[in-house]
Amino acid sequence: MMLRDLPLSGVVVVELSDSASAPFAGKILAELGAEVWKVERPTGDSARGWGPSTWKGSGAAFHALNGGKRCVSLDIKDRDQLATLHRLIAERADVFIHNLRPGTSAKYGLDADSLRVTKPELVHCEIGAFGHVGPLRNYPGYDPLMQAFSGIMSITGEDGQPPVRAGVSIIDFGSAMWAVIGILSALYRRQAKHSGATVSGSLLETAIAWMSVGIANYNADGHPGGRHGSGAVFIVPHRAYSTADGDLIVSCANDSLFAMLCEALEHPEWAADERFATNQARLRNRAEIDRLIGNQLSQQPSVHWQELLQEHGIPVAPVQTVADVVAHEQTRELDIIGKTEEDGLGLVGLPLSFDGKRPPPLHAARDIGADNDQLDAALKTRS
C-alpha cells in the first residue's frame, strides 16, 4: 500500500502537543495518511526525556508516539514564531490539534473561537484534562490522576490491597482515539456542510467512558464493583489461574462455555451444581468455583491446558511478557511491528488493515526542529 492510497492522503494536520494524548492522536492520523506537522517548543516534547529506553537521543516512548511526523520547533512566546505557527495553520491545516494547558490556547490566539473566525473550515481539536466546563476545567492532569478520579483505580488490583493503575496509559491513548474519531467525523461532515468544527475531549471524559459498565451497575443497584485482580466484576470465570509453570487466562462469558470448560476439566458435575449453574450463581460463589478451577489447572503446565481448552473452543490465553509477545508467531504473522530501513527501531503500526493491507511502517520521530527548513519552504510556496 502506497502512502498516497491511504484514507487521509491529502489531509494536513498541525499538532501542537506534548507528552502522550495529542501526540498519539497525531500519530494515528499520520498512519492513516495525513501530513502531520508536529510543533514542539525549542527544548522539545517532554516525552523526549522519558525512559528508561532511548533511541537516537530521545526516549523510545517518544518515537512510539511521534513516528511519521514532520517535526518543527517554534517558541509560541516569541511573537514572530507564533505568527509563523498561525500562518502554518491558516495556509496549510485542515486540522489543528493540541493539548495545551488550560487557558494557554486563548492567550496565544490558538483557541477554536479565534482560529475559526478567519478559517471556518478548520477542524479544531483540543484534548483537555478535566474537560472544558465545570469547577475543575482549569486544572492540569495526567493519565494516573484520571484513573484515580474516575474510579478506575477503585476497581483495579487485588481485593484488600492498595489501588493500582493500569500498566499502560489507557486514558492518554483512549483520549487520542476519541479525538481521532471526532476529527474524522468533523472531516466527513465538512464535505457536506463546507464548514469545520470544534472537537473537544478530555482525559476525564475518556476515563468516565471506560467506566460505563461500572457506572451502569452502580446506578442499577448501588454495587460499586470492587477489585477482582485479573478477574471481572460481571463474569465468572473470567480471570488468570496459576498452572504448574505459569498463568493462564480462562474466559467463559456464558453458561454454555462454562459447561464446556467443566467437560474439558473432567468435572461435568460443576455445571449441574446449583451454586455454579448460572453466571449469577457463580458470581455469588466466586471464591469456591475459582478455587476448584485453580486446583485443577495447577496440576499441568500452561501449554497442556491451552491446547486442551482450545480444542474445546474455550477462550484461553497465557499471560505473556513483552518479549513473548514480540517473539510470538501470531504477532509476526500480523506484521504489526514494523521497521523502516532508515531507522531500524521496531514500532507498533496501525492496528487496522485496508483491503487486506496494513499501512506501511512510518519513520521514527525526527530530531527537534529537523523539518524547520521544510516549514519555511511550505510557507514560501504559498506567500
Q: Which residues pair with 123 in a beta bridge?
A: 95, 197
C-beta separation of 336 from 326 below 8 A? no
Read off the C-alpha cell for 264: 474439558
- DSSP alpha helices (H): ranges in the chain? 21-31, 60-66, 79-92, 104-107, 112-118, 143-149, 170-193, 203-210, 212-221, 255-264, 269-272, 279-284, 286-297, 302-311, 322-327, 329-334, 372-380
Nearest to 178 by CA among 131, 127, 140: 127
C-beta separation of 316 from 305 below 8 A? yes
Q: Which residues pair with 249 in a beta bridge?
A: 240, 317
DSSP tally for the chain: helices H, then strands E = 17, 13
161-170 contact pairs (CB < 8 A, 24+): 161/227, 163/227, 169/20, 169/143, 170/143, 170/210
Assess whether 78 carries a catalytic annotation: no
Nearest to 200 by CA among 327, 283, 111: 111
C-alpha Rg value of the chain to the nearest Å:
24
- Pairwise CA distance, residues 254 & 25, whole Å: 36
Catalytic residue (one of 45, 111, 172, 290) = 172
- Pairwise CA distance, residues 68 & 31, whole Å: 7
Count of all residues that appear for the chain in the document? 383
Q: Which residues pair with 357 in a beta bridge?
A: 354
DSSP code, position 361: P
C-beta separation of 240 from 248 below 8 A? yes
- Which sign, positive or negative, has the C-alpha torsion 203, 209, 213, 219? positive
Name the one residue in this structure whose C-alpha cell is 479544531: 124
What residues act catalytically?
172
